[in-house]
Amino acid sequence: MHPTHLPLRAVTGAYILNSGLSKLGADEQTAEGLHGMASGAYPFLSDLDPKSFTALLAYGEIALGGALLAPMVPSAVAGTALAGFGAGLVGMYLRTPGMTREDGIRPTQDGTSLAKDVWLVGAGLTLATQSFLSGTKAVAKNAGRSVREAASSVGESARQAVPFTG
């Protein structure tokens, strides 16, 4: 993990881990509310019972929060997972009636609590793209070194094979 990723991973990881832990003991009313909101935006979730859905959501948030906090999980992996999770929340915001104004983007008073989840997408994409770009840079640097070494070796072999007669 790159040291510059530490603050972003620590803050988002702790926040999401706490959110997941708090959902583990959700009562029936809370589970029904979470399930109702999610299944309204994503109808395929309506087949799950509310308690099972809430437990799966809790375990997913715990896993994601833990992955962000664990330094051995590459930032590209943790960032991609974070961006996907955030995109699901933003999708719920955009699909839930009453969350956006007439333009379909800007939040209503009720939608502000969901619209803010767009920062999760940005944070995840930042982690993933920085990791990808630094990995690409390292690969390019190693490839350049290998090409220089190969060219030097070929040049040396050529000098040895063809004596200079100047």
Q: Where are the domains of the chain?
A: 3-130
Condensed to tens digits (0 to 9), the pLDDT of residues 70-106 reads: 999 999 999 999 999 999 999 999 998 998 999 988 9
What integer best gives the mean pLDDT of the chain?
Answer: 86
Distance CA 51, CA 118 (A): 26
Region of 98 (left: φ > 0; alpha: ψ -120 to 50; beta: rest) is: left
Q: For the CA atoms of the chain, what is the radius of gyration?
A: 25
Q: Determine the pLDDT at residue 138.
A: 55
Give me 39's structure tokens. Answer: 């299944």
pLDDT tops 90 at residue 152: no
pLDDT band at 124 (very low <50, low <70, confident <90, very high): very high
Distance CA 60, CA 68 (A): 12
pTM of the model: 0.76
Chain position carrying tokens 């390019």:
140
pLDDT tops 60 at residue 65: yes
Q: Determine the pLDDT at residue 135.
A: 61
The contacts of residue 126 (CB under 8 Å, 6+ apart) are 8, 79
pLDDT tops 70 at residue 141: no
DSSP state of 73: S
Distance CA 12, CA 126 (A): 13
